[in-house]
């Protein structure tokens, strides 16, 4: 049987056009104003929860990094002081600069062993208990005052309320090792600076916020020096000037500029994710884009929280 001949010329078939299926988000109705408000409220709530979590645990990372740096610097000073003692010299402890290590603070009752830093601004208290400039240096005659966080930034003074009369406190400076004995605890208002006033007796005053997670009041623990005091160097405790504890980070233009830069970067990341989300491609890069965005977003958010933390008062 012979094949049938076509009645006319055969026209070439046009290639089929691939029409990608519509994406679910293309077919959904546009959100209402109430829905948008609810979405942003959820995002804001999530960011607030994340910032609180950063305050409780994230700040501890920077605290222990700062402790390692201070410990290294303080140990170097101890080695030099020991060499001086072996040579028959006397260690002269000059007024420490803001941010310098002052000594090592050990409180066995609460398991504390940390290096003290000079200064009580947020940037100093974020890495260590801070010595109040203008008060006596630890181990010397007069009132040596030290502040510390109770619930954030490593919470060095978290257990300060557990101290009892008679508990020992050991402070080691470049001038030697000094032992204090706790005498009393009290609670004062944040504006009561009488606990920082010079005293004739050699004592140590530790301050922190109370109750926990609040800066409404100040918890004070006072201890007296039971070992011989070290020679006083520089101005006498009563004549020390109440030096500022460094420049407040909130007044630094660089901090605000960094915060603005992080905000712009986060906004750009969100816009980029929205653009990539609507692209119809099977490229491997685009499949990895959500994971890359997550890593970059977490890093930017961590940096932003760190900058915001420096703008908060040095409390809690």
Looking at the fold, whether 163 and 254 belong to one and the same domain comes out as: no
Looking at the fold, whether 92 and 214 belong to one and the same domain comes out as: yes
Work out whether strand 101-107 and strand 143-147 pair parallel, antiparallel, or are unpaired: unpaired
Work out whether strand 203-210 and strand 143-147 pair parallel, antiparallel, or are unpaired: parallel
In a domain, 204, yes or no: yes
Looking at the fold, whether 123 and 67 belong to one and the same domain comes out as: yes
Looking at the fold, whether 168 and 225 belong to one and the same domain comes out as: yes
Looking at the fold, whether 232 and 121 belong to one and the same domain comes out as: yes
Choose one of 229, 246, 263: the last residue of a domain: 246
Looking at the fold, whether 229 and 259 belong to one and the same domain comes out as: no
Count up the domains in the chain and report the number: 2
In a domain, 33, yes or no: no
Highest-confidence range of 38-47, 151-160, 209-218, 285-294, by mean pLDDT? 151-160
In a domain, 21, yes or no: no
Looking at the fold, whether 177 and 262 belong to one and the same domain comes out as: no
Looking at the fold, whether 188 and 270 belong to one and the same domain comes out as: no
In a domain, 13, yes or no: no
Q: What is the DSSP string of 208-250?
A: EEESTT--SEEEEEEEEE-SPPBPP-SS-GGG------S--GG
Q: What is the CATH number of the domain that holds 183?
A: 2.40.260.10
Looking at the fold, whether 117 and 72 belong to one and the same domain comes out as: yes
249 CB-near residues (< 8 Å, 6+ apart): 121, 122, 123, 255, 310, 311
In a domain, 49, yes or no: no
In a domain, 278, yes or no: yes
In a domain, 45, yes or no: no
For residue 23, pLDDT beyond 60: no
CA distances from 214 to 56, 137, 143, 170, 313 (A): 13, 28, 26, 28, 12
Choose one of 246, 261, 287: the last residue of a domain: 246
CB atoms within 10 A of CB 11: 6
Taking the C-alpha atoms of residue 181 and residue 166, their distance in angstroms, rounded to an integer, is 5
For residue 239, pLDDT beyond 50: no
What is the domain extent for residue 174?
Answer: 56-246
Looking at the fold, whether 74 and 171 belong to one and the same domain comes out as: yes
- In which band, very low, low, confident or very high, does the pLDDT at 76 lie, cut at 50, 70 and 90? very high
User: What pTM value is reported for the model?
Assistant: 0.74
Taking the C-alpha atoms of residue 222 and residue 219, their distance in angstroms, rounded to an integer, is 10
Looking at the fold, whether 159 and 125 belong to one and the same domain comes out as: yes
**Cβ(64)–Cβ(161) below 8 Å:** no
Highest-confidence range of 47-51, 59-63, 129-133, by mean pLDDT? 129-133
Indicate the SS3 state at residue 280: coil
Ramachandran region of residue 296, left (φ > 0), alpha (ψ -120 to 50) or beta? alpha
Helix (H) / strand (E) element for 51: namely helix 33-53
Looking at the fold, whether 142 and 229 belong to one and the same domain comes out as: yes
Taking the C-alpha atoms of residue 160 and residue 170, their distance in angstroms, rounded to an integer, is 15
In a domain, 3, yes or no: no
Dihedral of alpha carbons 33, 39, 41, 47, sign: negative
Choose one of 219, 246, 273: the last residue of a domain: 246
- In which band, very low, low, confident or very high, does the pLDDT at 124 lie, cut at 50, 70 and 90? very high
User: Which has more pLDDT, 29 or 122?
Assistant: 122
């Amino acid at each position: 049987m012979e094949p049938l001949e076509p009645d006319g010329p055969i026209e070439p078939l046009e290639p089929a056009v691939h029409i990608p299926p519509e994406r679910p988000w293309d077919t959904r109705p546009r959100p209402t104003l109430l829905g948008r408000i609810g979405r942003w409220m959820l995002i804001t709530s999530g960011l607030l929860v994340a910032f609180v979590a950063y305050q409780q645990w994230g700040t501890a990372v920077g605290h222990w990094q700062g402790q390692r740096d201070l410990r290294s610097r303080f140990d170097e000073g101890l080695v030099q002081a020991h060499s001086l003692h072996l040579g028959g010299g006397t260690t002269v402890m000059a007024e420490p600069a803001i941010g310098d290590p002052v000594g090592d603070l050990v409180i066995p009752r609460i398991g504390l062993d940390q290096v003290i830093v000079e200064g009580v601004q947020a940037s100093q208290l974020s890495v260590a208990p801070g010595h109040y400039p203008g008060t006596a240096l630890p181990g010397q005659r007069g009132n040596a005052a030290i502040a510390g966080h109770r619930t954030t930034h490593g919470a060095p003074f978290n257990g300060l309320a557990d101290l009892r009369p008679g508990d020992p406190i050991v402070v080691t400076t470049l001038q030697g090792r000094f032992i204090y004995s706790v005498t009393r605890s009290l609670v004062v208002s944040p504006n009561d600076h009488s606990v920082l006033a010079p005293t004739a007796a050699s004592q140590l005053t530790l301050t922190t916020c109370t109750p926990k997670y609040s800066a409404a009041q100040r918890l004070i623990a006072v201890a007296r020096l039971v070992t011989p005091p070290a020679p006083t160097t520089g101005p006498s405790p009563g004549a020390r000037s109440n030096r500022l504890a460094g420049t407040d980070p909130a007044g630094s233009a660089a901090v605000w500029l960094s915060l603005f830069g992080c905000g712009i970067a986060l906004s750009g990341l969100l816009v980029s994710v929205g653009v990539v989300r609507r692209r119809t491609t099977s490229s491997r890069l685009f499949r990895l884009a959500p994971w890359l965005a997550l890593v970059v977003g977490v890093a930017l958010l961590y940096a932003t929280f760190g900058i915001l933390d420096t703008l908060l008062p040095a409390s809690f």
